[in-house]
Amino acid sequence: MAKVAVLLAPGFEEAEAIITIDILRRLNIEVETLACAESRGVVSYHTIPMVADHTLSHKIDTYYDAVVLPGGPQGSVNLAASAEVVRFVAAHDEAGKIIAPICSAAARVLGGNGLLKGRRYVCSGDLWQGVQDGVYVDAPVVEDGNLISGKGLGHAFDFALTLSARLLGDDAPVREHAEHIYYPW
């Protein structure tokens, strides 16, 4: 069974995180939420307190099949500024694991730390204009090797379903589930 880490930094975009977690778990993909803070308690962009499964510090040497990076104006800034997050993402990327940023996370976390490595990606707004090491593509979801990026909250279902299909190696159960939740994917 595939196992995914969802990184939650203070100010994370809660809907991007929760929609992704929900879709992955509905498709029987194991998800662990990791707080990128001193404690498991993290407050989201819209001040919703959440308790993560673990802190990133506790799981820093654990490898997952995918690492999800939700956006959020402050959440992605906090992810990008964390040496622990950069180390964790870089190690997973080097191991060929899926790196999955959504919204501002691709530009701020990956682009801001030299982790795009020339790959195609999408992010929210005009943040792409400050990125030097990737190729911006204006699309809901962009896949390039082990990088799957989502444009933003309005495309969170497309992002989560695409990630699920990649992890399962089969889009048939994902399409069936999308129909079940009345989502045209």
User: Residue 5 is encoded by which pair of tokens?
Assistant: 């880490």
Is residue 150 within 8 A of residue 140, CB to CB? The reply is yes
Is residue 164 within 8 A of residue 156, CB to CB? The reply is no
Whether 36 is catalytic: no
Report residue 65 CA to chain centroid gap. Answer: 12
Residues 181, 179: Cα–Cα separation, whole Å: 5
| Neighbouring C-beta atoms of residue 89, cutoff 10 Å | 24
> Beta strand 98-101 with 120-121: parallel, antiparallel or unpaired?
unpaired
Q: At what angle do helices 83-94 and 73-81 cross, to 10 degrees?
A: 80
Is residue 21 within 8 A of residue 5, CB to CB? The reply is no
Is residue 102 within 8 A of residue 70, CB to CB? The reply is yes
Query: Could you report how far apart the first and last alpha carbons of the chain are, in Å?
Result: 23
List the catalytic residue out of 8, 100, 103, 127: 103
Residues labelled catalytic? 103
